[in-house]
């Protein structure tokens, strides 16, 4: 087989600012060992997120110029709405400025005290919006999804037996909905199978429960289904996506991922009554229903991006290039979540820094080491992000300590990724010298964004 090449040429470039290790050490100290607080000019390869960081196509930039900025009834909205309906088949499409705005609206209406949201795994902002409404989020990913080193095709699946059990034990009264996150971002970017979505939907229907899809990376998930699930290899990505959404009552999406947009999102639903309530809230918090917190030009970029993301050659390159990084560091012995996720490689920091206990935040320590060594910025998905405290203020650690290296879409070339692999391998060889961290300042919710930390001596 020949090399899978990037299915695009580069028309416009941005400079990378080079710096050295001494400079980065100082920058990291000034950022309190939290790379979210770094100036991005001080980052050489930014793998913090794949959200809003993708390269737009020339067609999307052309769409930006066509964007119609009418307050109401813009043709850009109708193109956006039609692109979303074409994929999701949902009756109502409500634009929002990003994914969490859609979540906030939905959970403000369906959440609240005593309500429970059950998911394969909720993303951090999704969980925070649920908790902010007074409700509780419960993650029940399948057993293999909790074992980083075990390879399986659909480690993002929800544990349907655990879902059944929960319903048997607690009844359905307090369950606001079941949310399937595709791909499972907080659980290694692993896909969810069609069979699992279908079965979950069946359980939900039997018990009169709503099932929503968190659709940020729907196309990457559809590609995995096409490649790995029996019966889908001859189906197009669009056909697979259509089927995925056909099982759901609604969806939220951040268009900053699988729509190649810098900003944007939506809430889609089949429920007319709920749609009215959501729109009423939208008008207060986001804007008129035909722009919902976005400019007309953003709506155009999303509409075009949603079509581009389903191209077979793009997804083949996308998923292969993530696996390329995973393969390289795996060959050097670096422990990662196997197999590679769609949008990111997740290093198992618990195994990588086995000398650091979880209350010394091994994931964050590794994030800091990668930045210092090579100017690479990743993000901790572990006890800094998801840890809680017990009554004695002892850390209740997260189930996994991961470092996510999220690959922005269509941005970095193979040599950038080769460099990333070299840095990771060098840090791995020196892992015993890496020190733990302690938190010196934190916010009550989503603390990882702004927390200040210090090195343990
Ligand atoms: N759901 C999932 C699965 C996500 O990954 C994100 C964002 C959101 C919801 C919220 O969307 O940012 O547009 O409000 N994930 C980004 C990330 C931030 O880095 O993974 P948003």
Whether ligand 1 lies within 6 angstroms of the CB of 129 is answered as: no
- Half-sphere exposure of residue 311: CA atoms within 13 angstroms, side-chain side: 14
| Separation of first and last alpha carbons in the chain | 50
Separation of CA 10 from chain center: 26
**Residue 189 Cα, ligand 1 centroid: separation in angstroms?**
12
- Is 214's pLDDT higher than 90? yes
Q: Are 211 and 252 in contact (CB under 8 A)?
A: no
Q: Is 95 helix (H, G, I), strand (E, B) or coil?
A: strand
Whether ligand 1 lies within 6 angstroms of the CB of 100 is answered as: yes
C-alpha to C-alpha distances, 228 to 105, 110, 231, nearest whole angstrom: 35, 35, 9
The pLDDT of residue 2 is 87
Domains and CATH numbers, the chain: 21-50+311-455 (3.90.1150.10), 58-308 (3.40.640.10)
What's the rounded mean pLDDT across residues 267-271? Answer: 98
What's the rounded mean pLDDT across residues 255-268? Answer: 98
The pLDDT of residue 396 is 96
Whether ligand 1 lies within 6 angstroms of the CB of 265 is answered as: yes
Q: Which residue among 100, 254, 293 is best mutated to probe the pocket of ligand 1, counting the most ligand atoms within 8 A of its Cβ?
A: 254
- Is 445's pLDDT higher than 90? no
- Is 444's pLDDT higher than 90? no
Whether ligand 1 lies within 6 angstroms of the CB of 185 is answered as: yes
Whether ligand 1 lies within 6 angstroms of the CB of 183 is answered as: no
DSSP 124-171: HHHHHHHHHTT-EEEE-B-GGGG-TT---TTTT-B-HHHHHHHHHHH-
CA dihedral over 274, 251, 206, 160, signed as positive or negative: negative
Whether ligand 1 lies within 6 angstroms of the CB of 79 is answered as: no
Whether ligand 1 lies within 6 angstroms of the CB of 226 is answered as: no
**114/136 Cα distance (integer angstroms):** 7
The pLDDT of residue 427 is 98
DSSP 106-137: HHHHH--TT-EEEES---HHHHHHHHHTT-EE
Count of other CB atoms within 10 angstroms of residue 231:
9
Nearest residue to 46 via CA among 407, 300, 456? 407
Count of other CB atoms within 10 angstroms of residue 91:
13
* Ligand 1 atom closest to Cα of residue 254: 13
Q: How do residues 358-369 score in pLDDT, each as one tens digit?
A: 999 999 999 999
Q: What is the CA radius of gyration of the chain?
A: 21
Q: Are 182 and 156 in contact (CB under 8 A)?
A: yes
> H or E segment at 341?
none
Separation of CA 345 from chain center: 12
**Cβ within 8 Å of residue 436, ≥6 positions away:** 356, 357, 360, 361, 362, 365, 455, 456
Separation of CA 65 from chain center: 29
* Ligand 1 atom closest to Cα of residue 126: 9
The pLDDT of residue 448 is 93
Whether ligand 1 lies within 6 angstroms of the CB of 99 is answered as: yes
**Cβ within 8 Å of residue 227, ≥6 positions away:** 233, 319
What's the rounded mean pLDDT across residues 129-155? Answer: 95
**Cβ within 8 Å of residue 135, ≥6 positions away:** 107, 111, 112, 113, 114, 115, 116, 117, 176
- Residue 183: both structure tokens together: 């791909």
Q: Are 97 and 105 in contact (CB under 8 A)?
A: no
Q: Quote the mean pLDDT of the chain.
A: 97
Phi, psi at 62, each rounded to 5°: -65, -40
Task: Name the burial class of residue 196, with classes exposed (0-12), middle (13-18) and buried (19+) by CB atoms within 10 angstroms of its CB.
Answer: buried
Residue with CA at minimum distance from ligand 1 atom 19: 49
**76/64 Cα distance (integer angstroms):** 10
DSSP structural state of residue 380:
E
Whether ligand 1 lies within 6 angstroms of the CB of 123 is answered as: yes
Q: How do residues 382-429 score in pLDDT, each as one tens digit?
A: 999 989 999 999 999 998 899 999 999 999 999 999 999 999 999 999
What's the rounded mean pLDDT across residues 133-151? Answer: 95
- In the chain, the percentage of residues whose pLDDT exceeds 90 is 96
Whether ligand 1 lies within 6 angstroms of the CB of 181 is answered as: yes
**Predicted confidence band at 261 (pLDDT cuts at 50, 70, 90)?**
very high
**Residue 402 Cα, ligand 1 centroid: separation in angstroms?**
17
């Amino acid at each position: 087989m020949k090399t899978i090449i990037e299915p695009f040429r580069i028309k416009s470039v941005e400079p990378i600012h080079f710096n050295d290790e001494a400079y980065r050490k100082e920058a990291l100290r000034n950022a309190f060992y939290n790379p979210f607080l770094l100036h991005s000019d001080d980052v050489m390869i930014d793998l913090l997120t794949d959200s809003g960081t993708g390269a737009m196509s020339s067609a999307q930039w052309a769409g930006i110029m066509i964007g119609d900025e009418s307050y109401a009834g813009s043709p850009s909205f109708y193109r956006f709405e039609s692109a979303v309906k074409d994929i999701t088949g949902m009756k109502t499409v409500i634009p929002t400025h990003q994914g969490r705005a859609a979540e906030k609206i939905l959970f403000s209406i369906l959440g609240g005290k005593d309500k429970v949201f059950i998911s394969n795994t909720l993303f951090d902002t999704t969980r925070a919006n649920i908790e902010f409404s007074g409700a509780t989020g419960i993650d029940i990913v399948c057993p293999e999804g909790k074992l980083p080193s075990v390879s399986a095709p659909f480690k993002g699946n929800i544990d349907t037996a655990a879902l059944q059990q929960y319903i048997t034990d607690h009844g359905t009264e307090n369950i606001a909905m079941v949310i399937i996150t595709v791909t499972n971002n907080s659980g290694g970017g692993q896909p969810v199978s069609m069979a699992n979505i279908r079965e979950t939907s069946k359980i939900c229907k039997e018990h009169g429960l709503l099932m929503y899809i968190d659709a940020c990376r729907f196309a990457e998930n559809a590609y995995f289904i096409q490649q790995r699930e029996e019966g889908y290899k001859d189906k197009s990505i669009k056909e697979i996506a259509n089927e995925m959404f056909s099982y759901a009552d609604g969806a939220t999406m951040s268009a900053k991922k699988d729509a190649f947009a810098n900003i944007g999102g939506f809430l889609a639903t089949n429920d007319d009554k709920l749609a009215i309530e959501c729109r009423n809230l939208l008008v207060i918090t986001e804007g008129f229903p035909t722009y919902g917190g976005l400019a007309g030009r953003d709506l155009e970029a999303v509409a075009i991006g949603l079509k581009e993301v389903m191209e077979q050659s793009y997804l083949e390159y996308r998923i292969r290039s993530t696996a390329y990084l995973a393969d390289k560091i795996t060959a050097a012995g670096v422990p990662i979540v196997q197999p590679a996720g769609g949008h990111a490689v997740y290093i198992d920091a618990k195994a990588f820094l086995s000398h650091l206990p979880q209350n010394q935040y091994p994931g964050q320590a590794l994030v800091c080491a990668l930045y210092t060594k090579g100017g690479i910025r990743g993000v901790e998905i572990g006890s800094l992000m998801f840890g809680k405290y017990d009554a004695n203020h002892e850390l209740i650690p997260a189930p996994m300590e991961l470092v996510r290296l999220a690959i922005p879409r269509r941005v970095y070339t193979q040599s950038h990724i080769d460099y990333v692999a070299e840095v990771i391998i060098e840090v791995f060889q020196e892992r015993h010298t890496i020190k733990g961290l302690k938190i010196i300042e934190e916010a009550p919710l989503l603390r990882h964004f702004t927390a200040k930390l210090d090195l343990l001596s």
